[in-house]
Chain A
Amino acid sequence: MRQAPSTQWDNYLAQAQSTDECLGPYGRPRQSWSRLFTAMGELDANRLRELDKTAKRLFHDNGATFHMHAGDDAPDRPWELDPIPVVLDAREWRDISCGLRQRVRLLNRILADLMGPQTLIRERLLPPDLILRHPGFLRACSGSLPPERMRLALYGADIARGPSGRMWVVRDRTSTPPGLGYALENRTILAQLFPREFRDLHVERLSQTFRALRDGFNPAGDLREGFNRVVFLTPGPYSRSYFEHAYLAAYLGYTLVQGDDLLVRDGRVWLKSLSGLQPVHVILRHVHDEFCDPLELRGDSQLGVPGLLEAVRRGNVALANPLGSQVLENPGLYPFIPRIAEKWLGEDLQLPHAASWWCGQKPERDYVLQHMDELFIKTYDRSPIRIGDDVVYPPFLASTELREHIEREPWRFVGQERLSFSTVPVLSGGQLEPRAVTLRTFTAYEGPEYRVLPGALACCGEPKQSDLVDRLAGGICKDTWILGENQQTFDSLWVERQEETRQRPLIGLYTSTAAENLFWSGRYAERASSLVRTIRGLLREEDQDDFAPHGRDMLHCDTRLWQGLLDQAAASSDEQATLSTIRDIALSSEVEGGVSANITAFARSAFFVRENWSNDTWRVITRIGESSPEEDHQHTDLRKLQDQLDDLIILFQAFAGQCSDSMSRTDGWQFLDLGRQVERGQMMLTLLHPVLEADDVEQAPPLEAMLEIHENLITYRRAYRTTPDLPTVMHLLLAEPSNPTSFRSILIHISSRLRHLARSTHRPATDVLASEVTTLVNRLDAFGDDNWNALTHLEEATSIPSFLQDAKETLLSLGSELSHLHFKHAGQRARALPTIRIPSPHLEDGE
């Protein structure tokens, strides 16, 4: 075997303990790691730093989440990505996979039993307290499915290598296994970072498992023939894991929904889509069991779908994982599982778990109490312990206090052998350092067997916290590579195969909520960029630029958005005060309707529909969202301010370009573009209003600035080569058919978007809206030279201002009509009926 040439590797190996993943039996480097070292070649400190930087940038670009929680400065994600993968050879992975498949088979049988006949408890293989007292045991879910359908569709297991060199199961994740999206994201990033190494080492692809999850995704197995619509249920953008949900939903091609997007009618689940209610057959959920149905489970849940459990009972919808599967997330089960495996499967467990003692039994409790310092103590549902108004996790309690709690509620506690897990090299300050690691594995049902994802989300603990690694507070994550023996062929679900697209024509359905958020993404993007362009125009004037000599008069603009401030600025004769106000609008996050507020609103609307953006578009959105205002914006250099505004304009143009060039013309796109055009039209009318209303030409805002803001100054100069005069400018801005930014062009866009939506969502009423817009176009076209020339004499009434008034009203009502026609399903939340208190009859009253 060839030694790794790098001194960094040598340094690392020299300090690695015998329990390091890089070292095999007898302290010799493991073959898989040697292969990695060789493939990566010379890794000096510079190269390591460079890798780290690139990985961090890619990681960040993918997953910015715009802090949805007010005043929250927690990181976007619970962990950071380390660029060095964990590697395992395919032979060892086969054994691990075998063990995982055995375990999920066994867990399925246990689940079906606990949610059904409970023979395990009747026959005393499991004590009643361990199950029936566990908060994950939901009585309402018991018997909701026939045993053969009580089956995990996706099983997550955390595994780690113990001192003996064997892999151990550390934790089962059976309800909503988290991390699959992160595993996918890490892989996507590392494949970009190390394309050559990735290919040369024959790293096994993840896509097969995702394909199984997507195409064969029918956890009920026998739910129904033909097309099953799958939706991905997320707790929503306020959940810390929303990014992961959006990422996974986009990759799998499922519609991402929140509880409010679904409803139960006639015992079936329906998606409130743009084109009305659509049946849903499978729900891949990331909402915890007890929050899924406020009718039968937690009544205060805002995340679920009322009546969902009834739909499950009637066999009309399958949930992955089934409701009730949280009962298996119980470390107290571990001591009992080997016996169940022996009795039911006649097999030993292929993957052991750490020796555990459940305190609900007297001898075990005594053992735990006597060995408290040597054991890792947790609660059976991993809930914290309540102390007054505080909650504390067992490791942070003084041992006397913990002892008291164990004695008071022994059934809640489990003692587990403290294992020190193997370590892997992690980049830290340009050096490689050993950190303990657990691997989160994923096993997916692919009827009738299970397929194990060849890879894992590797989670590294802080140094010297190896036994706490499964708590994962602010850790580091890594990709896991299974090094195959043969060349792997490229495959990715991002790249659709033709035949697949044809087979699944119905994916990409939009919820009313998503459509509304796309519409507003479009509006806010347009509003913010118009505002930026306007401010830039104003600053040019401040900067004594030559072409907009009356720039300050533009402050008369009657704009609904920043009127108050502009009025204030205009009223002031002081140049400095005016400039200061403009700075506020441009940069202060405090100003309502300012650039910053609009950017925030844009980024959030866009984040709510994260799954609809391509990775490139999302990068642009991230950049826009992060164009944060300067702390001390009043002192920002004017030149720098202009540069920032220029950058923003480029970013918004990039966004618009991405949307028009790379998004397919789905209903979602129609709404996005509709939002942009409606906003653009309204902005234009708002800005033109003072031009036409001014008492005399001298006071009117300068026409050059108008042209500049609407990006028509060059066009005008090329076409007319004269000083702008009102009729010509207004014709160019309003009615010129060849001008792509004219009001006429905007109206044509709007009407064609509306006609498309009327057809695709089967709503003739939307066609009526389109006709109203077309009427406006016809009126514009009917204006002759007389009408336009009449504009010069501002005092003379012309038909154009009244047209503009009508147009303004039409655009305003369009927003509410759209909301009524297409978004009205969104946001309707069910609430609980009052329950009557029992007014108890008193026998005495009647005697």
Chain B
Amino acid sequence: MSVRYIVRHETLYSYEDLVPQAQTEARVQPRDMPWQRELSGEVTLRPASNDRRERVDFFGNRVLYYSVQESHTEATIISEFEVELLPEQRPVATSCTLNWRDLARETNNPHATWLFEARPWIYESPLLDLEAKIHRYAREVLSGFDALIPACAALMTRIFDDFTYDAEATEVDTPVDDALEQKAGVCQDFAHVMLSGLRSNCIPCRYVSGYLETLPPLGQEKLVGADATHAWVSVFVPELGWVDFDPTNNLLPYDQHITLGWGRDFSDVIPVKGLVVGGDRQRIDVQVDVLKSDQSSTT
């Protein structure tokens, strides 16, 4: 079985004054994985840049660097691509019987065979402090379980139940502690809370940046630009690989989540970030469309 999606992700910056120079780093191209491959893709820049270069960052994510040296008051970056998801290639989480306490213990064992691969994913990171409060919050849920996957799923559900989705409640740089206090935020906060909870309990996990296909209400046309970038969590399971959890929607991603890349937290995989000279007041508009392609197959 495979599912194909066509994604269009447009970011528009408008400035009140001329910007003579801008440099941007974009992580808006999908990375290939056993259960995802890019079929075609293109990033369009306006104004065009004659200084663009692609590379792969420390985490293996695709990065597009570009600079614009002509004066402008509007800059657009549009990433359009088609991906094929092969959900059957995802690790089969149900087969895993590993006790999460064993995983936590092994993560602290300097002789563990996968130490190098997993250990860095329990560290604090630029946006995640791993304070005692979040540790207790997660511990309370985890301790009701033995097996890793159900324990993580329970934490995911707990966050989903406890937290209100509220775009006004938090800012880009709201610390996890505040989100935990308010029990409200957006998917970035949901993911950060879950990551902090797991990491502070020595369960290695990473922040995943990507998109999610949404469906219009029954009987209505899907609106253009209705989709959005999304974030979720991936947990390291020895000998199996990385298993995704989406605390914003309380589900295990299967064939609706399209991955751009991953890192320690949001700061490692900001979709578009940049520096400009001049410009005065600036404004950002983002439009995302995720469309299921007719080419999807069930065979």
Contacts and interface: CB of A to CB of B under 8 A. Distances in A.
Contacts of B251: 843
Nearest to B20: A828
A266 B170 CA distance: 37
Interface in A131-162: 132-133, 139-140, 142-143
A388 interface: no
B40 to A, nearest CB: 24
Nearest to B285: A836
A128 B110 CA distance: 9
A846 B216 CA distance: 5
Contact of A835 (B214, B273, B276): B273
Interface stretch (B29-37, B81-89, B227-235, B236-244): B227-235
Interface string B170-199: 111000000000000011101000000000
A118 B120 CA distance: 13
Given A265-B69, A830-B23, A295 B275 contact: yes
Interface in A552-589: none
Given A140-B57, A143-B58, A843 B276 contact: no
Contact of A837 (B22, B120, B188, B227): B188
Contacts of B188: 837-838, 840
Contacts of A132: 119-120, 123
Contacts of B273: 295, 299, 832-833, 835
Interface in A815-829: 828-829
Nearest to B270: A835
A847 interface: yes
B104 to A, nearest CB: 15
B273 to A, nearest CB: 6
Contacts of B294: none
B21 A830 contact: yes
A133 B126 CA distance: 11
Interface string B198-242: 000000000000001011110000000001111100000000000
A553 B51 CA distance: 66
Contacts of A267: 51, 53
B249 interface: yes
Contacts, number: 146
Number of chain A interface residues as a range: 35 or more
Given A132-B120, A307-B67, A846-B216, A296 B277 contact: no
A832 to B, nearest CB: 6
Contact of A838 (B24, B229, B282): B229
Contact of A831 (B212, B227, B276): B276
A71 interface: no
B272 interface: yes
A836 B271 contact: yes
A310 interface: yes
Contacts of B119: 128-129, 132
Contact of A839 (B22, B51, B228): B228
Interface centre among A122, A263, A836 (most CB of B within 10 A): A836
B39 interface: no
Contacts of A265: 21, 51, 67, 69
B278 interface: yes
B58 A841 contact: no
Interface in B263-285: 266, 268, 270-278, 282-284
B70 to A, nearest CB: 12
A133 B231 CA distance: 24
A832 B212 contact: no
B166 to A, nearest CB: 11
Among A118, A828, A833, A842, max chain B CB count under 10 A is at: A833
B277 A828 contact: yes
Nearest to A265: B69
A122 B120 CA distance: 13
A294 interface: yes
A306 to B, nearest CB: 4
B214 A841 contact: yes
Contacts of A838: 186-188, 228-231, 266
B24 A833 contact: yes
A121 B23 CA distance: 34
Given A307-B23, A831-B276, A837 B172 contact: yes
A231 B46 CA distance: 34
A121 B65 CA distance: 30
Nearest to A840: B187
A361 interface: yes
Contacts of A307: 23, 65, 67, 275
A847 B275 contact: no
A571 B268 CA distance: 67
A339 to B, nearest CB: 15
In the complex, which of the residues B25, B171, B248, B275 has the most CB atoms of chain A within 10 Å of its own CB atom?
B275
Contact of B53 (A128, A140, A314): A314
A310 B186 contact: no
A403 B230 CA distance: 42
Given A265-B67, A838-B228, A833 B116 contact: no
Nearest to A132: B120
Contacts of B11: 836
A296 B274 CA distance: 9
A839 B229 CA distance: 7
A299 B275 CA distance: 9
Nearest to B273: A835
B284 A836 contact: yes
B116 A122 contact: yes
B274 A295 contact: yes
Contacts of B98: none
Contacts of A139: 57-59, 268
A845 B115 CA distance: 41
B58 A834 contact: no
A360 to B, nearest CB: 9
A294 B227 contact: no
A563 B297 CA distance: 85
B21 A263 contact: yes
A842 B53 contact: no
Most buried by B among A140, A831, A840: A840
A241 B101 CA distance: 51
B272 to A, nearest CB: 7
A830 B119 CA distance: 37
| Most chain B CB atoms below 10 A, which of A133, A264, A265, A841 | A841
Nearest to B120: A132
A324 to B, nearest CB: 11
A319 B249 CA distance: 47
Which 6 pairs between the two chains have the least Cβ-Cβ distance? A840-B187, A846-B215, A139-B58, A830-B275, A833-B274, A306-B275
Given A836-B11, A843-B214, 16 more contacts: A265-B69, A266-B50, A267-B53, A295-B273, A299-B273, A833-B13, A833-B24, A833-B273, A833-B276, A834-B283, A836-B272, A837-B167, A838-B229, A840-B165, A841-B187, A847-B215
Interface of B: 11, 13, 21-25, 50-51, 53, 55, 57-59, 65, 67, 69, 110, 115-116, 119-120, 123, 165, 167, 170-172, 186-188, 190, 212, 214-217, 227-231, 248-249, 251, 266, 268, 270-278, 282-284, 286
19 contacts: A122-B116, A129-B123, A264-B67, A307-B23, A307-B65, A310-B23, A829-B277, A832-B275, A833-B274, A833-B276, A833-B282, A835-B172, A838-B187, A839-B167, A840-B165, A840-B190, A842-B248, A843-B251, A847-B215
